[in-house]
Amino acid sequence: MKKYLSLVLFAHTIFAMPFAFIGFFLALSTTDYTFSWVKLGLMILCMVFARNAAMAFNRYLDRNFDAKNPRTAVRDIPAGRIPAKNALIFTLINCVLFVFATYFINTLCFFLSPVALAVVLGYSFTKRFTPLCHLILGVGLGLAPLGAYLSVTGEFAALPIFFSLAVICWVGGFDIIYALQDDEFDKSANLYSIPSVLGRKKALLVSTLLHVLCVVFVIIPLFITQLGGFYIAGVVFFIGLLIYQHRLVKPDDLSRVNLAFGTTNGIASVVFAICFLLDVYSRNLG
């Protein structure tokens, strides 16, 4: 199990999971639906299963590229710790468990489960034909707040879409930063990414623009629903860490990419979600 947690970088679940909690409790705070531990548990399981499937499939599909790239040759499949066949089996098991879990949530989630899997699994192919792969990854993680909202209500609404759009731009922006490490390899392997196509300097500009859009999308809910001081504090903190991560990385200095990519974004998402939940909780007390 420890090997498979390493395969899917389980710790990185921290990126999208807080936004799933936002979507879940956004539904509870803006509709007449009541809290259910069962629904919350099933939502969390869906998040885990979908991400496990997506990451394991990505590692399986990219195993030959990973073996040739010095930075990724130490990953579990090219290093021989997990056979490629087992990674694929692990992917299929998690896909089945994901669909099974959605069946017990509601009909809409169940029928949309193949669509969600198509997005999160399909991302792994995109680097082979488009530099927009970063945004496709963003779409995959951006399903978290919308999917969690649907798990409560079983119906679409505009409000959670703004949080999904924020996640798309946030993830797309920081994935561009992460991809800076492989720009030369991507060129040699005929793989597409924003850094390999535009160069590091322009790629960082695109990343900045995406994060500006992200900020716009997290601010919009302030004007269309009841959100107060705690949420504003979360937005300010989130913006601060976005600025911080861009100060960490320069076109000619990638030594702090992992700090910008992993630590900073993990803290940003968790604190932002906590502030949102505090805001909802304080209003309910009032």
- CATH at residue 151: 1.10.357.140
- Cα→Cα distances 227→17, 32, 132, 224, 233, Å: 21, 17, 33, 9, 11
The whole-number pLDDT of residue 12 equals 56
Give me the pLDDT at residue 4, please: 53
Query: Which domain covers residue 181, as residue numbers?
Result: 2-285
Q: The whole model's pTM is what?
A: 0.93
The pLDDT of residue 263: 79
What pLDDT shows up at residue 110?
A: 97
Give the C-alpha separation, 195 to 200, whole Å: 5
Number of domains in the chain: 1
pLDDT at 68: 94
Reported as a single tens digit per residue, the pLDDT across 81-117 is: 888 898 899 999 999 999 999 999 999 999 999 999 9
Q: Which residues of the chain have pLDDT under 50?
A: 286
> What is the structure's pLDDT at 82?
87
pLDDT score at 6: 55
What confidence score (pLDDT) does residue 46 get? 95
What six digits make up the tokens of 214? 């992200």
